[in-house]
């Protein structure tokens, strides 16, 4: 039985690792996945698990971009170290809106907005938005993250805050916002990756703290195994997903993700309308 639960956690981590970085909404996929693959754990531990496995995805970003994100790297000269510090400051500025709003309204969002109808509508809405934005020919004014100023970084952060609404996709909202504000696809995608580090570390830590206050540190061996294998699966798949997205956007736009979101939104809506 424990082995079966571990296999389930690996599958969930696999899906999370893909959908966290591609702009297609991890929530929309998790809602469907939960209908077919149910872990034999408590509701409170499941809530913890779904957030904590995101740490595996975040570790993938740190692994792939470690040198670029490390201001103390011996491989960098003084100017490069200064640019790295500037990058982190832009990330912090970009995380402020989502961090504050998420902290204040986490319970409300989870209780009132986390339902299949809202998720499906948001999936479809942002899918259409992707298609509309990509249909417009535009010249990007920001082609390197070093060209991203603090004001623009802050406004992109407001778009990231929209992802607190289930079905939006954190990477999707950030990429759309960055594109509207003049960032190239590559800058939008990479800045989205970097913004995820403090936001998802913060969300995981906050959720873990709430769980500890409510339940305590009484994890069973099975629960620890579920967390470990879920995180490992999310990490390995995230590495591949991030590499895929960076290579993909070199020669393609985000329209296919828009069509995919619309199709997924319709599937979620029909499934829960018929079977709920």
What is the number of domains present in the chain? Answer: 1
Alpha-carbon torsion angle 234, 192, 157, 113, nearest 10: -40
pTM across the whole model: 0.89
Please give the pLDDT value at position 250.
87
Q: What is the DSSP string of 89-153?
A: HHHHHHHHHHHHHHHHHHHHIIIII-SHHHHHHHHHHHHHHHHHHHHS----SB-SGGG--HHHH
Q: Which residues, 6+ apart, have CB-to-CB distance to 222 below 8 Å?
A: 2, 5
Residue 150 contacts by C-beta under 8 Å, 6 or more apart in sequence? Answer: 89, 90, 93
Q: Which of 95, 89, 244 is nearest to 163 (CA)?
A: 95
In the prediction, which pLDDT does 1 show? 53
pLDDT by 10s per residue, the chain, length 276: 588 999 999 999 999 999 999 999 888 898 888 888 888 888 888 888 887 888 899 999 999 999 999 999 988 999 999 999 999 999 999 999 988 998 888 778 878 888 889 999 999 999 999 999 888 867 889 999 989 999 999 999 999 999 888 899 889 999 999 989 999 999 999 999 999 999 888 877 877 888 888 877 778 888 889 999 999 999 999 999 999 999 999 888 899 999 999 999 999 999 998 876
Predicted pLDDT of residue 51? 79
- Residue span of the structural domain in which 154 resides: 2-275
């Amino acid at each position: 039985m424990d082995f079966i639960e571990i296999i389930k956690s690996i599958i969930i981590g696999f899906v999370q690792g893909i959908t966290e970085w591609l702009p297609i909404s991890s929530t929309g996929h998790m809602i469907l996945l939960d209908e077919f693959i149910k872990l034999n754990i408590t509701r409170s531990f499941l809530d913890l698990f779904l957030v904590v496995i995101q740490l595996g995805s975040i570790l993938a970003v740190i692994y792939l971009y470690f040198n670029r994100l490390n201001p103390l790297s011996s491989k960098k000269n003084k100017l490069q170290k200064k640019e790295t510090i500037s990058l982190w400051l832009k990330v912090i500025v970009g995380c402020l809106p989502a961090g504050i709003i998420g902290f204040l309204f986490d319970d409300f969002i989870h209780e009132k907005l986390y339902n299949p109808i809202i998720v499906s509508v948001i999936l479809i809405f942002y899918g259409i938005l992707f298609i509309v934005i990509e249909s417009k020919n535009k010249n990007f004014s920001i082609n390197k993250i070093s060209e991203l100023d603090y004001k623009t970084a802050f406004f992109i952060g407001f778009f990231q805050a929209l992802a607190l609404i289930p079905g939006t996709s954190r990477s999707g909202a950030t990429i759309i916002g960055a594109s509207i504000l003049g960032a190239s696809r590559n800058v939008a995608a990479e800045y989205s990756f970097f913004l995820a580090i403090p936001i998802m570390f913060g969300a995981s830590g906050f959720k873990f703290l709430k769980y500890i206050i409510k339940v305590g540190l009484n994890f069973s061996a099975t629960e620890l195994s579920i967390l470990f294998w879920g995180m490992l699966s999310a990490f390995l798949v995230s590495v591949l997903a991030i590499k895929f997205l960076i290579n993909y956007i070199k020669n393609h736009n985000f329209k296919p993700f828009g069509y995919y979101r619309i199709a997924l939104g319709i599937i979620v809506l029909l499934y829960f309308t018929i079977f709920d």
